[in-house]
Each structure stands twice: as C-alpha cells, then as structure tokens.
Amino acid sequence: MISTIKDTLPTMMALARDHSELSRIQLVGMLADIFLHSDIHLSLREEEQLNELIDLLMFNSTPLVRTLVVKSFVDLNRMPHRIATNLAKDTIDIARPILVSCPTLADADLIHVVENKGGDHALAVAERAQISEAVADALVTTGDVRVMQAVAENLGAHLGLRAMDIVSDAARYSVDLRKPLLSRPEMNTSVAMKLYWWVEQDLRRYTLKRFGISAGQIDQALASTIAAFLDDHAYERSNDAVMEQVAIWMEEHQAVTPQVLPQVLRMGHFRLFNMLLARLTSLPLSLIDTITEEFGGRGLASLCRAIGIDKSGFVSLFLLSRGGRPGEQIVHPRELSYALATFDRMSPAIAKDLLHSWSVNPEFFSKHQEEAVLEERAQYQA
C-alpha cells in the first residue's frame, strides 16, 4: 500500500491544486478509496504530504464537496484526523455527524470546537457516546441550558465535581435539568442537598429515598437554599414586586415557617420578613407593616405568641426587626423589657383571639394602638 500511496500522491496533489469542483470531487473519491479499503501504514513524510493534500482539498472547497467528504467516509473510524478536524468546524449541517460520532477527534479538538463555535456545535458534542470529564467541563461552562441538559442525560458522559457544581447551580432555575442531574451516578449527598429545596416534591421524595437524608440535613439544606436565593436578590430587597415573587417561591417550596424568619431578617430582607409574617398570620400586609414599625413591640409579641414562636425566638425577631423601622433603630433596654412583659402575660389562646379580631377588622388594632403607645412611652420614659 505504501507504493500505491507513493504512486497516487502526485496525481492527488495535482487534483488538489486544481480548484475546480470536479477535480476536488475526484480527489475525495481517491482519498476515500485509500482510507476505507486499505490498511494504511504511512511514513512521517507521507503523513505530512497527505495532511498537505487534505488542507488543499478543504481550503475554499464548496459545501457540495464538503458534504461529499462526509458521505464518502461512511465508516467514520477511518476518516483521517485532518479531515475530521476541518469538518468539525464547518457549518452545523456538515459538522454534526462528525462531532457526534467520529472517534478520531481528540478531547483537545472537541474542546476547541465547544469554545469557539456556537451552541449547536456544542450540543452535537454533548451527544457523543463517550464524553471525558475535560470535555464535559467545557460543555457545561458554555452556560447553554440545552447543552447542559444533553450532558446530564448522557450516561456516557463523565461529570467531575466542577461540572456537577455548574449544572446544579443552573438546575435551580431550569426545571429540565433537575431530574436527569439527580439521576446521574455521580450525584452525591452534598450536591443533592444543594438542590433539595429547589426541586419538585416527587424529586425530593426520590432524593430522600436514594440518599437517606436526615431531618437535620433537610433543615440545613433549607437554610442554605434560602440564603442563596436571597443573595440572588440582595439588590432588590426593597422592591415589593420582586419580594412578592420571592415570598411566592418560598411558599411553593414549603419554606414559609416561623423558623425561617430570623434568617430573613439577618440578611436584611425586612420587606420580605413582613410579607412572610403576613402569610403566617393571614393578616393584611399593610397591618403587618404597622405592627412591625410600632413602638414597644406589643403587636409583634401577639403575633409571635399566636404562631408558636418561643420567648428567645421573639427576642431575636424583635431586635432584628427594629433595623427595618423608620427613624431611630436602636432598641432601648426598657423598650425590650416592655415587649417581653407583653409577651409573658399573653397566652397563645389570647394571642390567637387577637389575630382573629385583627383579621376580621384590621382597624381594631389601630384603634388601640395610640393608647398602647402612650402607655408604652410612659413606661419607657419612667
């Protein structure tokens, strides 16, 4: 075969230098005959000559010629590496079968295509039967959700810690990524807990069953999830429309609980705190705004008693919530003492009755507020 190549190389080079489409079509046929029907053993010099020949063939070749090259190499295992790398960077219609199936492409070739071509090329690479960890990293780093989903669904892909972290971050906001990612063999408890409170109930049940997660881990995951979610909206904490959407999200994920309120306040989300408190007490938000801003904490003590918050929890909420009220935010020790006295003398049953009265007629709270404020200020100043 070496002698055959030596004999045909001059003819093929002449065809390659002839820029006519007919000559190039003839050349494609000759190359296919050589690589598909023979066991080739090339010297270094012959390999260099063939690569030069391929470069000449591919340079400025027409779409018809490039399509013919793909069709001629039915067995992609026999396609020369030089041709494969050229076609892999072509338009997606020509490149796709090469990117999906050609085994002669090395990881470096695939990564180059992913980093320098569009999302369709990356998507084709993501459909390969086998994908190394390095190529998977390059694919998910594109940020294209379609590509991430294809990688997550491809059990021939090997995902390392970096890829798992990137896809799990994206899965918080992309429903299509959640199920395939949680089903992957590389999924571990740490990443699963990172996703736990973002996914639907059936996937949470699947996660509990697969990883045997404890109640403590679930609570910790909830705190971490809320912290991440609120961090994402740190610059919108005063935007009622955005905070309303956050509150809806938390409600949908069963995250509106008395236990979450201190965390929300520690992160400076005072508007969200009021919205969550309104949901927990079924009181109008406007009334909650009045209660959290009032002097002395009488109303807040009633709310906390009614929804089952203990004394230490009330102290935390009272002190933290002062940061959201207008004007002076420093809490005088006597104000705190009065708030605690109110909390101590009010039973949960009385507090619930008060909440019911306020929900039926929110003005009931306002009518008594002025008298209560005068009493509280008198004790505060005494």
| pLDDT at residue 349, rounded to an integer | 92
| pLDDT at residue 247, rounded to an integer | 92
Place of tokens 């994402």: 232
Of the candidates 74, 75, 103, 78, which has an alpha carbon nearest to the alpha carbon of residue 88? 103
Q: How far apart are CA 99 and CA 105, in angstroms?
A: 8
Residues of the chain with pLDDT under 70: 1-7, 34-47, 49, 56, 59-60, 74-76, 78, 324-333, 367-382
| pLDDT at residue 319, rounded to an integer | 86
| pLDDT at residue 292, rounded to an integer | 87
| pLDDT at residue 158, rounded to an integer | 96
| pLDDT at residue 309, rounded to an integer | 93
With b for 16 or more beta-carbon neighbours within 10 A and e for fewer, the 142-155 pattern comes to bebbebbbbbbbbe
| pLDDT at residue 23, rounded to an integer | 79
Helix (H, G, I), strand (E, B) or coil at 131: strand
The DSSP-derived string for 42-111 is --HHHHHHHHHHHHHHHTT--HHHHHHHHHH-SSGGGS-HHHHHHHHTS-HHHHHHHHHH-TT--HHHHH
Q: 83 near 54, Cβ under 8 Å? A: yes
Q: 294 near 369, Cβ under 8 Å? A: yes
The DSSP-derived string for 267-328 is TT-HHHHHHHHHHHHT--HHHHHHHHHSSSSHHHHHHHHHTT--HHHHHHHHHHHGGGSSS-
What pTM does this model have?
Answer: 0.66
